[in-house]
Amino acid sequence: MSINERVRALCQKTKQLLLNLNIFPSVPPTTDEHQLRNQRISTRLFIFTLIVSLSILLLYISLINITQTVDVKAPSIKQYEQLYNSYSQTLACECTQISIHYEKFIQIRYTLHEICHSDFITQDWIEYLSTSHGNYTVYTTDFRWSGKLAFQAMSAFCTLVNQTILNRLIQFNSNQYVSAFVTPSDVFKLQTDAFISQFKSTTAYGFLLSLAMIRNTTQSNSLFSGMLTNYYLSESLGAMFRIPVSYGDCMCSSSGTCIMQSPIYQLVSGTTASADLLFSVPGLYTGCYIIESLLQSDLQCFYSQTCINQLQSYFQVSSLMNVTALDTSLSNQFLENSTIGDILDQLMVEEWINSSMYENYYDECKPSDCSYTVTSKNSAIYIITTVIGLVGGLITVLKLMVPYLVKFIMFCIKKCKQRSTTIIPIDQS
């Protein structure tokens, strides 16, 4: 036989085998052609249903998305950042310590205005000013008398501001940051920046509120200045009267903020100084109250070595004190003509140096584990094992159902044929 004939014979044999395939033989085997036909139909329906069912099942398992939860034990901060970059929506890392003091991860440092680090608030400079008029008696408005008071007040402001900030920092550092889960670094940065900003504003507000209360109380009650710069006492007929001091056209009885530019008068031997004006200190004022005049003053003269030297030229001292002018290049926050009031509004802080250390926070939080969910398609191994696991049950179910289904269908077909062949008699009359 030729190869074509052999192939043709093989195909014919295979076709015959498939036509006669029967996986539902009766026990004992039957020779009834009707039953054999039903069994062959059941076999073909079983195979078709099995193939379709497996195809649908395979397609479904291949296309569905599955969600898996992945746990990572005690991840390092580098691992956490990698996980957050990839699974930010579902990542959750529970902290082992949920409350952490601010001082563990926030540092706030500051630099006060240059005046607070200068020679001008030292005790040496203040004592130097106290002796600057020698044995002469000078007016209370003269810089050689009022200057020491102004710089004493300036020194007090520097000390008070510094102590206020330190006290507030102690309170701030004792606050606790509470988080049950690790806070992402970007959110953490926004939160700590808000904490620091609030600290600055509340510290400044509290200090300025206290200062304003003291100033208002002093002015509204017309309290005597310690150095009698707003009122002086006069006796008449055994009674004491207070006489308001005037500064220019402003009288201390009408306003506690009256000021005049701090002068230096010609010294004359005797008990008083003459009123001959020699020099007016640029930017510096004297008035009813040392504090009020200082707040309206600026430091422009003390940024100039020439101005300082000129001031000292009017001092009655045996030797001049070597003091260095303030350096404008050291200040980015304030100008030479910024008033002391403006400087105090910023708590005399030249620069805030803030830092929030996310690594320290993470180390304190110390997450025990992180979990996140991922969505993916089933793997080929999973699909194969799932189909293999289901195919046995599917075959069993189909073997039970298909024969009865075929019998039912054949029964229905038989009934339909019987009805169609029934002859209905016609009544003839």
Residues 6+ apart with CB under 8 A from 386: 61, 378
Report the largest interatomic distance among the alpha carbons of the chain, rounded to a whole angstrom: 169
Q: Are residues 305 and 400 in the same domain?
A: no
Say what the pLDDT of residue 56 is: 87
Q: Are residues 177 and 313 in the same domain?
A: yes
Say what the pLDDT of residue 77 is: 94
Q: Are residues 229 and 296 in the same domain?
A: yes
Say what the pLDDT of residue 429 is: 46
Q: Are residues 119 and 48 in the same domain?
A: no
Examine residue 76 and state whether it is found in any structural domain, yes or no. Answer: no
Examine residue 86 and state whether it is found in any structural domain, yes or no. Answer: no
Closest of 213, 101, 115, 96 to residue 155, by C-alpha: 115
Examine residue 270 and state whether it is found in any structural domain, yes or no. Answer: yes
Q: Are residues 175 and 322 in the same domain?
A: yes
Say what the pLDDT of residue 222 is: 86
Q: Are residues 171 and 242 in the same domain?
A: yes
How far from 396 is each of 20, 390, 402, CA to CA, in Å? Answer: 22, 10, 10
Residues of the chain with pLDDT under 50: 272-273, 423, 428-429
Q: How many structural domains does the chain have?
A: 2
- Cross-strand partners of 22: none
Examine residue 393 and state whether it is found in any structural domain, yes or no. Answer: yes
Examine residue 426 and state whether it is found in any structural domain, yes or no. Answer: no
Q: Are residues 38 and 148 in the same domain?
A: no
Say what the pLDDT of residue 114 is: 94
Residues 6+ apart with CB under 8 A from 43: 21, 22, 23, 24
Q: Are residues 412 and 352 in the same domain?
A: no
Instruction: Show the domain range for 352.
Output: 106-356
Q: Are residues 14 and 163 in the same domain?
A: no
Say what the pLDDT of residue 18 is: 65
Examine residue 328 and state whether it is found in any structural domain, yes or no. Answer: yes
Examine residue 158 and state whether it is found in any structural domain, yes or no. Answer: yes
For residues 368 and 94, the answer to whether their CB atoms sit within 8 Å is yes
Say what the pLDDT of residue 153 is: 95
Closest of 158, 257, 251, 156 to residue 216, by C-alpha: 257
Q: State residue 223 phi and psi, 5-degree precision.
A: -70, 145
Say what the pLDDT of residue 273 is: 44
Q: Are residues 214 and 339 in the same domain?
A: yes
Say what the pLDDT of residue 258 is: 94
Say what the pLDDT of residue 427 is: 52
**Alpha-carbon span 299 to 340, nearest angstrom:** 8
Q: Are residues 154 and 208 in the same domain?
A: yes
Examine residue 121 and state whether it is found in any structural domain, yes or no. Answer: yes
